[in-house]
Structure 1
Amino acid sequence: MEQDMSVALITGGSAGLGRALVTAFAARDWTVITDARRADRLVALRAVVGPRVITIPGDIADAEHRRTLIGEVEALSALDLLIHNASTLGPVPLRPLREVSERDLAHAWTVNAGAPAALSRALLPWLKKSDGVVISLSSDAAVEHYPTWGAYAAGKAALDHLTLTLGAEEGLDTYAVDPGDLRTEMHQAAFPGEDISDRPLPETAVPAFLEIVRRRPPSGRYRAAELSPLEV
């Protein structure tokens, strides 16, 4: 059945920037599908945000979980926006590549690049039907070379390319967006014992994503800090 509504799928929506994005789009009357590995956090999210959010616990790296997400889109028969937010640092504390096992590399790359690419491909029929938007969360680590960040960075670099190439191939508006350093649980895990309270809150990056969806600039890689209504 066709639905007269805007539908977004935002992965990793239970904390940090993902939670801020889910909250922002639901507040603007979007129906938002989201997931996370911790079911209790999704319950808490829905209690705050309300019934416009469809929560599905699971790991994005699991193919069966991705099929469940796809099933929710199919049930709504609509998808206007796909945001790949779920990601992993890899093994923490962060360590040089010589100390990262092949298994850990493979898992980090699956979560950060392989699983999002698979989800994008599977959701192409709905995205193309709605002339939808795909946004992948990038990082400055995708274009710089920071010691100990190799596993994460390589996955993000791959995700940038996969997202933008898919857009070029399929005629979709696709974006890789670097939100900058934010005060999140994942960022804290990268700097154990350090005070990261000087980093901006995740909510400060949300306007850049809203602006992309509203104005739809040319596909490409953007830094959230550079995006404003006057600059897009």
Structure 2
Amino acid sequence: MPVAIITGASKGLGRALAAGLAGRGWDLVVDARSAGPLEAAARELHETGVRVVALPGDVTDGGHRAALVAAAAELGGLDLLVNNASVLGAEPLVRLADHPLDGLRAALEVNVVAPLGLVQEALPLLRASSYLASYGGDIPYVGEIPYIRGADNAGAYDSHPYLSDVRNAGMYDSPPYVGTGGAILNISSDAAVEAYPTWGGYGAAKAALDQQSAVLAVEEPGLRVWWVDPGDMRTDLYAAAVPDDDDSGRPLPETVVPALLRLLDEAAVSGRYAAADLLAGAADPGGSR
């Protein structure tokens, strides 16, 4: 069975995605800061018949990140890493003139530093994954033919390209190479690319995550790296950000899960995606800038 690590999985989008993957037979390693809600989520996931390891802890703790990856290794490997855990930096959100600097540091630590630390810890397992290659070529990539040529110089997909092709991947003058390892899904926000009043601290942290993801995609061409704007959702995070706003009309996190699963189903190329575009049928990266 494929294995995923999902941070921030006790509620919201993390919990909804965990349920979606469990319904497909994925084994899971899930984390959250609060043990009680995480254990409740894990009990529900267990009912689907998959293996679930629930590890409460803080993603800013290197020892906790190592434990998450070790648990995945015990389950057989790692095919998908989901960096979903997040903090706002100020609750409720405030203008930059009033933003506490310690809060900004916390937002950067959770939204940028911790995801990179977890990626670094997980890279050996992700590089060894063959999950996305297991589609057998039916839908191995989305978009252009990978950087591989046949004897007639016509493009043809090959899940095991020559090393020179891999080294050239991501260069400015080469078509995008699509590898066959695992995938990294970083949950971003439209606040990373739009200038919303009071969202400056959180948006800056997510913008940094976007750029970090883009560079990682170039440096690790054998992996898929997706950074996704899930759109507006009815979550505790949004309620804490803007407590006076009526979010009753906002969609539930469960409605976003099909968009994220589509990235897996189509083994989509690395890039920035908007859940709204994926749900509408578009699967090209960059749909939300």
Which residue of structure 1 aligns with residue 260 of structure 2?
209
Equivalence for 2:209: 159
Match of residue 90 from structure 1: 89
Q: Is 1:168 the counterpart of 2:223 in the alignment?
A: no
Aligned residues: 228
Letter of the structure 1 residue corresponding to residue 237 of structure 2: M
Q: Could you tell me how far apart the structure 1 residues matched to 2:91 and 2:11 are?
A: 18
Are the aligned partners of 1:60 and 1:66 in contact in 2 as well (CA < 8 Å)?
yes
DSSP-derived class of the 1:227 partner: helix
Q: Which residue is equivalent to 2:36?
A: 40
Aligned pair 1:135/2:198, yes or no? no
- Normalising by structure 2, what TM-score? 0.76
Matched, 1:17 2:16: no
Counterpart Cα distance in 2 of 1:181 and 1:173 = 25
Residue in 2 aligned with 1:188?
A: 239
SS at structure 2 position matched to 1:181: coil
Q: Could you tell me how far apart the structure 1 residues matched to 2:43 and 2:124 are?
A: 32
**Does structure 2 conserve the Cα–Cα contact (< 8 Å) formed by 1:9 and 1:32?**
yes
Q: What secondary structure is seen at the aligned counterpart in 1 of 2:256?
A: helix
Q: Distance in 2 between matches of 1:225 and 1:52?
A: 31
Evaluate the alpha carbon distance shift between residue 228 and residue 148 of structure 1 in structure 2; reply closer, same or farther with a 3 A threshold.
closer
Percent identical among aligned pairs is 47
**2-structure distance, mates of 1:193, 1:75:** 45
Matches within 5 A, 1:50-89: 50=46, 52-89=51-88
Q: Secondary structure at the match of 1:160?
A: helix
Check conservation: 1:127, 1:133, Cα contact below 8 A: yes
User: What's the CA shift for 1:194?
Assistant: 2.5
For 1:111 and 1:213, how far apart are their aligned partners in 2? 25
Distance across 1 between alignment mates of 2:3 and 2:259: 19
Compute the RMSD of aligned alpha carbons. Answer: 1.4
CA–CA distance in structure 2, aligned partners of residues 206 and 126 of structure 1: 24
Q: Is the 8 A contact 2:38 2:54 kept in 1?
A: yes
> Does the Cα contact within 8 Å between 1:136 and 1:176 map onto a contact in 2?
yes
Separation in 1, partners of 2:101, 2:91: 15
Aligned-residue offset at 1:38: 0.6
1:228 offset after TM fit, Å? Answer: 3.9
Tell me, which stretches of 5 or more residues in structure 2 are unaligned? Answer: 130-180, 284-289
Which has the larger Rg?
A: 2
* 1:112 alignment counterpart: 111
CA distance in 2, matches of 1:103, 1:229: 39
Letter of the 2:203 counterpart: A
Q: 3-state SS of the aligned residue for 1:176? A: strand
Q: Does the 8 A contact of 2:27 with 2:75 survive in 1? A: no
Displacement of 1:53 in angstroms is 2.0
User: In structure 1, the residue corresponding to 2:104 is in which secondary structure?
Assistant: helix
Query: Alpha-carbon deviation of 1:229?
Result: 8.2
1:41 is paired with a residue whose SS is helix
CA contact (8 A) 1:211 1:229 kept: no
CA contact (8 A) 1:77 1:126 kept: no
User: In the alignment, does 2:278 pair up with 1:227?
Assistant: yes
The farther-off stretch of 30-39 and 64-73 is 64-73
Contact 2:90/2:241 (8 A) holds in 1: no
Distance 1:63 1:135 in 2: 20
Deviation at 1:148?
A: 1.3
Structure 1: which 5+ runs fail to align?
none
State whether residues 65 and 121 of structure 2, in contact with CA within 8 Å, keep that contact through their aligned partners in structure 1: no
Secondary structure at 2:118 match in 1: helix
Deviating more after overlay: 188-197 vs 203-212:
188-197
More helix by share: 1
